[in-house]
Amino acid sequence: MARGSRGGCGRRLGCSIGALVLVAALVLGIGWWVGQRGLPTGPDGPGPGPETPPEMAQPADCADVQLLAVPGTWESSPTDDPHNPTFLPEALLRTVTDPLSEQYPDDRLEVYTVPYVAQFRNPQKPEEIPYDQSRAEGTDRARAEMIATHEHCPYTSFILLGFSQGAVIAGDLTNEIGTGNGPVPAENVLGSILIADGRRLPGEGQSPGLSPGNGQGMEISLQPVTGFTQLVAGATMTGPRPGGFGTLNDRTAQICDSRDLICNAPLNVVDGAARFQEFLANNAIHAMYATNPDVIMGTTVPEWTIGHIRELTDGAPEIAHE
């Protein structure tokens, strides 16, 4: 009996030691698992958390938003001051850019008016620069400014604005950017406003006003007679923009008076030469966008444009300065 009691006790002792070993193993295992999970394991506190992304910052002379304004024909000069244009005080785009410059500080909104020759040689003005040369100069200068700004200020957002010849230039840049071939990424562009665009195509972009449904841009309608327009005005009728406005389509506003032959020429031009001569001789409505109440109901084009740019600017992120 005594031998049996000693044997039972030995077994119990062995069981107790085995249990202690198991508990120790579980404690160590749980500690390892908790450590792997990055949770607190003791008085030292939690392990390192995820890295915080660096704050966006750029040089102190960078604005949060740059408004790139491209004036129309005869409303600019290659020597004009882009930050204080004085070539034509009554230029249409100045009715937009002047109030915006007064409202916003330079570090919030920089207004840059592209200086270029802005001419259109024709029988009434034979001494002027051909349209193709003028448009190329304006495009090159606008593109170069966007590239330089983006390189120096990578987080600056852009708004494009153009009228007439300037609308063709701004629209072409919008097309480049929206189709992935532009001077800045599409995500850096807040919007584009094109007033009387000579390459307007119904269905492309958004119309904030009365969208003409009976015509299209002159450079599309007159493309079949581009040989004649080149001869008369050095003007190549370039047709529609390949790819439209791409990813910027919903951010592009097309504004056009249905009576304006620049942006609303007939779809089927029977006598292209005659229509081109008609444009050169009589297109007074093209010069009335500053006060015309019939393009955007309840307001004028400058008033709507100012409000739209304010909305875009106020919604843009504020970027810290280094």
Residues serving a catalytic function are 164, 260, 286
Whole-number Å distance between alpha carbons of 109 and 99 = 12
Q: Is 13 helix (H, G, I), strand (E, B) or coil?
A: helix
What's the N-to-C CA distance of the chain in angstroms?
Answer: 90
Whole-number Å distance between alpha carbons of 116 and 219 = 21
In this structure, the number of other CB atoms found within 10 A of the CB of residue 226 comes to 16
Whole-number Å distance between alpha carbons of 307 and 68 = 16
Q: Which residues contact 103 (CB under 8 A, 6 or more apart)?
A: 109, 310
Which residues share a beta bridge with 215?
Answer: 266
What are the C-alpha distances in Å from 152 to residues 44, 68, 149, 266?
A: 44, 16, 5, 44
Q: Is 47 helix (H, G, I), strand (E, B) or coil?
A: coil
Angle at CA of residue 200, ends 199 and 203, nearest 5°: 140
Most distant pair of Cα atoms in the chain: their distance:
134
Asked if residue 131 lies in contact with residue 120, where contact means CB atoms within 8 angstroms, the answer is: yes
Whole-number Å distance between alpha carbons of 197 and 169 = 9
Angle at CA of residue 197, ends 191 and 201, nearest 5°: 90
